Structure 1
């Protein structure tokens, strides 16, 4: 593969992954608007995000298996069309539960684009090129996550939040057809040599399970804070507009820098210390959002992003260093725990917010710090042996 072909592949991957993740968080900044428009409760409108996350969690493993058996182009084409269809349904429906169902449909087919393209790259690229292209993949997840929030928040009220779904559907279709035409032909599927570990075998290893739990706990906290932040900021003493609330999501760009930095930090001080440091920063940052000051909120969100991406990057690195085989299945399990943690976080924090307000969300998040902290202590202990 020549220089320009390699650059073109990076751009295709970036476009497809960013467009996919744009659809995940599109309703997050307008949750108070949805609550008023549909006359719904806080937990009910939070399902418009939780449903996507649950769909991704459930479909990740099946698509991971499917991409080993079928060519990737038809999978990507089907996935892109279904995600766009779900978005268009969201744009036209007047029923909240149909909206939530369509969001779940989107979640079910997003792994057809994200999980499958990652597996495709691992099979078709040499390791030195794979690392570079996967860098584009990781950056695209951050840009897409931020882009969806900005799209959903800034389109409303100049137009209406429904137009955000139309825009996202257009983007995903364009990226899907671009990938369908531009992706290099993949080699014939080969049967891996040696016996690959089963999912049950991996789940019997406590050193891996604690890393999976760290991923679940970290994303539980991250999803909970960002999902209910609009309710916190739209109420007194802040009373912010949707556009101003959306502006605060720009702190998410910390993820672009923290991934590589956490990798280097883990190499220097160890994954265990990085996990522990990231967890402590997470806890302090979440607690900081209790203060009735916008400066405390901004500082807390910056710390939250820094701590979360440090935990996430250190956990992924630690997981893969422990593996001698079965990397595909082990990483699929990581993604499963990650998104299930996010779904549980959004759902449970919705009830906590209804009962106890923002302090209830903060307390729930602080309790979950035990999971990444436990993983960090275990990693540090193992490193000393």
Structure 2
């Protein structure tokens, strides 16, 4: 049977988390070959998505200099991609209910790698922005579909850990996208660095295609009814818990991208005066995010989601406060802490969405990721205004405000017992 062919099960069995009668052997459980293959394939998907999206982030100061634009304008190379991705996720999540998960994810990864390669060869700023916007559009086929696939195929007892490994892949991709780009740019040029990342991610897409097993619980919907999708999204927006999770994704991602977007501008100035490579190495803090996301999933499965989510938000806030220091050691410590906090919060929130999504996990995941990437695009770009008008203290205050709002949403979820 083709790996893209859905197994047509009764509707009650399409959601393993809600179907106790389903045979446990039909789920991929921790320790099995299927679980390892799924985890590695989705790790590669997360790696490719985030390395393609965020490989331009350390280049923002270079874009500003090369194209004679401001800091906030240079951030459009990232915010356009994530903004287009946010809306593409809604369409991709709906289409995946008809087309299948695996083929859509692979096509998205491969096309995005090709567009990133085109961006590396584009001679003018507006052409680069067009390529980056199209890249965001095609990448929409990965994130929402990946979350839905995991929620459908992984045994509920191990879903938190598997989601944590997927988020760990995004962390690793984000790190390589930043650190690798910075080092390659210092050695060669930013155009060469973009091209290398594109080729690496095309290979990741091929590895994903070879590893991911066939779906067992996906039920293909033969007809595309737009009204039905809107009705489902409307129901989820009226859910007791899901909108608060969407808000958390929007806010914590906005905080994270704001800090990472403009930290490079600050660290290249006095009193730090760091090189591109040195700044890129600071973003190795993503390694801590890889560990934190996996660990957060395990602890959420054992001890409950709300306490782990609140801990992640608190760690991120402490990290932002440390970045206000004039000591490079404390700034690095702050970046590490806020990275850990962000990935803990995102890992828990994304697995929580999978649990509350019911029989429309793809729709719930697409709404969460719409909010998540809108946070990256809108809030991340807005941070440039604070940097240009009042410097780093204003950027940090903006980030802390976002975390305070995320804390309120997390406390509401805990009180409601979702």
1:241 matched to which residue of 2?
A: 275
Shifted more, 315-324 versus 305-314: the winner is 315-324
- Decide whether aligned partners of structure 1 residues 221 and 123 sit closer, same or farther in structure 2, where only a CA change above 3 A counts: closer
* Residues 214, 372 of structure 1: 8 Å contact kept: yes
Alpha carbons of structure 1 residues 380 and 137: separation in structure 2 relative to 1, 3 Å: closer
Structure 1 residues 157, 336: closer, same or farther in 2, change over 3 A?
Answer: same
Q: Distance in 2 between matches of 1:287 and 1:161?
A: 31
Q: Does 1:156 align with 2:190?
A: no
Q: Distance in 1 between matches of 2:57 and 2:357?
A: 36
Alpha-carbon distance between aligned partners in 1 of 2:308 and 2:159, rounded to the nearest angstrom: 25
CA distance in 2, matches of 1:222, 1:335: 15
1:289–1:297 CA contact under 8 A, matched in 2: yes
TM-score by length of 2: 0.81
Q: Does 1:314 align with 2:348?
A: yes
**1:260 aligned partner:** 294
Distance 1:148 1:368, change over 3 A: same
Question: C-alpha distance in 1, partners of 2:135/2:76?
Answer: 13
1:331 to 356, 365, 372: 365
Deviation of 1:304 after TM superposition, in Å, equals 0.6
Aligned to 1:92: 121
Deviation at 1:161, TM superposition (A): 1.0
Residue equivalent to 1:297: 331
Name the stretch that deviates more: 97-106 or 243-252. 97-106
Q: Measure how far apart 1:245 and its partner are.
A: 0.3
Q: Residue 380 of structure 2 corresponds to which residue in structure 1?
A: 346
2:415 to 368, 381, 385: 381
Closer/same/farther in 2, CA of residues 40 and 216 from structure 1, 3 Å limit: same
Shift in Å, 1:241: 0.3
Deviation of 1:123 after TM superposition, in Å, equals: 5.2
After TM superposition, list the pairs within 5 Å mapping 1:132-147 onto structure 2: 134=163, 136-147=165-176
Which one of 178, 195, 203 corresponds to residue 166 of structure 1? 195
Shift of 1:116: 3.3
1:262 Cα shift? Answer: 2.6
After TM superposition, give the deviation of residue 353 of structure 1 in Å: 0.8
In structure 2, the CA distance between the partners of 1:318 and 1:89, relative to structure 1 (3 Å rule), is closer
Give the aligned partner of residue 14 of structure 1.
43
Q: Report deviation, 1:5.
A: 6.9
What is the distance in 1 between the residues matched to 2:401 and 2:192?
Answer: 38
Aligned with 1:47 (options 76, 95, 103): 76
Contact 2:158 2:301 in 1 (8 A): no
